[in-house]
Amino acid sequence: MSTVAITAADINKLRQATGAGMMDCRKALTETNGDFEAAIDWLRKQGQKIAAKRSDREAKEGVVIAQTTADNKAGIVVCVSCETDFVSKNADFVAFAQSIADAAIAHNVKNADELNEVTINGTKVSELINDKLAAIGEKIGITNVSRIDAEYVASYIHGANRIGVLVGFNGNAEAVGKDVAMQIAAMNPLALNPESVSADVVAREKAIVMETMQNDPKMAGKPEEMLSKIADGKLGAFFKENTLLAQPFVKDAALTVEAYVKTAGADLKVTDFKRVALG
C-alpha cells in the first residue's frame, strides 16, 4: 500500500511522460509509492507501450538557440527559460535569447556561470535577466549552456527554438553535419554508441527484459543463465534504437548514421553531440 498521496498532477505528469492511460498511471504510482522513474519501469514491465521522455527536458517553456563559431570549431547551445509559451513566442523575447547566445559565442564561454558575467552593451547578462524578469513578470533564467569543441561542429534548431542540437566531428562534415543534427533532434538518441551508455542504464534495461521473460509462460522452466544470454541479445535492439551511430538514418533507412557519415569521408566520425529540448 502506498504511503504517499498520489495527486492528479502526479498522474498527469506520468501520462505526459509515457502516454499510458490514467488508471494505469495511477496504479503504477501507487505500486511504486510515488517514485516517478520506478513507475515508468513498472509500466514497461506490465507490457505498456510507452515513450518515456528523457532528462534533456530542461525547461517547460523558453527559447533554445544552437550556433557555432564562424570557423565551426566550437558550438554552444543556450536555453533561456520562461514560464509560458506566450512569452517564449514573443519576438522580443526570442531576440533577447539570441543576443545572449551571440554573447556566449563572442566571449567563448564554457558554462552558465561564465555567461552570466558577460556584458552586453555594458550590462552583465545576469542583470539583463533580472531586468527582463521585472519587465515581463515571469521567472526567467539561463537553464542550460552546453558546448562542443571539435574539428568541425554543426548546429541545428528545430521547432521554433524548442530543440537545439550540436554535433562534433573529427573532420570537415559540412556535407553531412546538418543531416546528423536533424537526426538527433528527431530521434533523441541516449548516447553516441553502446560503449557510451552508462552501466546503470544497461543494467536497468537488462533487468526489465529479464523480468518480462520470467513472467512469460513460454519462458517457464528455462535456466537463468539462458535467460541472461537472451537478455543480452535483446539489448542489441535497445542499442540500435537509442545510440546515434547505430540508428537507421532517417533519410535512408538502408544506412546507419555511422555509415551515412562515412559517405562524406572514410575516416569521418562523430565525436560528440548535445541535444537540449524544452518540454
**Is 148 found in the same domain as 48?**
no
Residue range 64-87, pLDDT digits in tens:
999 999 999 999 999 999 988 999
Is residue 201 helix, strand or coil? helix
pLDDT of residue 55: 40
- CA distances to 23, 42, 217, 235 from 46, rounded to whole Å, are 13, 6, 14, 18
pLDDT of residue 8: 85
Residue range 137-182, pLDDT digits in tens:
888 889 999 999 999 999 999 989 999 999 999 999 999 999 999 9
In-domain check, residue 279: no
In-domain check, residue 169: yes
pLDDT of residue 9: 85
**Is 82 found in the same domain as 37?**
no
- 68 forms beta bridges with 75
8 Å CB contact between 278 and 187: no
In-domain check, residue 247: no
Reported as half-sphere exposure (CB side, CA atoms, 13 A), residue 23 has a value of: 0
In-domain check, residue 255: no
How many structural domains does the chain have? 2
- 152 forms beta bridges with 169
In-domain check, residue 209: no
pLDDT of residue 169: 98
Mean pLDDT for 222-231 is: 81
Domain final residue, candidates 189, 220, 254: 189
- CA distances to 44, 181, 238, 259, 277 from 270, rounded to whole Å, are 31, 11, 20, 11, 20
Residue range 7-59, pLDDT digits in tens:
888 888 888 777 777 888 899 999 999 999 899 888 888 776 665 544 443 34
Mean pLDDT for 229-241 is: 85
The Cα–Cα gap between 31 and 162 comes to 34
**Is 183 found in the same domain as 79?**
yes
In-domain check, residue 130: yes
Query: Which grid cell sits at 71?
Result: 570557423
**Is 63 found in the same domain as 42?**
no
**Is 40 found in the same domain as 67?**
no
**Is 143 found in the same domain as 64?**
yes
CATH number of the structural domain spanning residue 39:
1.10.8.10
In-domain check, residue 27: yes
Residue with cell 549552456: 145
8 Å CB contact between 256 and 36: no
The Cα–Cα gap between 152 and 178 comes to 12
In-domain check, residue 271: no
Across the beta sheet with 74-82, the strand order is 61-68, 74-82, 141-149
**Is 180 found in the same domain as 67?**
yes
**Is 62 found in the same domain as 21?**
no
**Is 156 found in the same domain as 35?**
no
Please check the confidence at residue 223 and state whether its pLDDT lies above 60: yes
The Cα–Cα gap between 75 and 108 comes to 9
* Lowest mean pLDDT, pick from 127-136, 139-148, 212-221, 243-252: 212-221
Domain final residue, candidates 158, 189, 220: 189
**Is 61 found in the same domain as 182?**
yes
Q: State the residue range of the domain holding 70.
A: 57-189
**Is 44 found in the same domain as 85?**
no
Domain final residue, candidates 142, 174, 189: 189
Sign of CA dihedral 211, 215, 216, 217: positive
CATH number of the structural domain spanning residue 184:
3.30.479.20
The Cα–Cα gap between 135 and 70 comes to 33
Question: 199-214 vs 224-242: helix axis angle to the nearest 10?
Answer: 130
The Cα–Cα gap between 195 and 198 comes to 8
Residue range 91-134, pLDDT digits in tens:
999 999 999 999 999 999 999 999 999 999 999 999 999 888 88
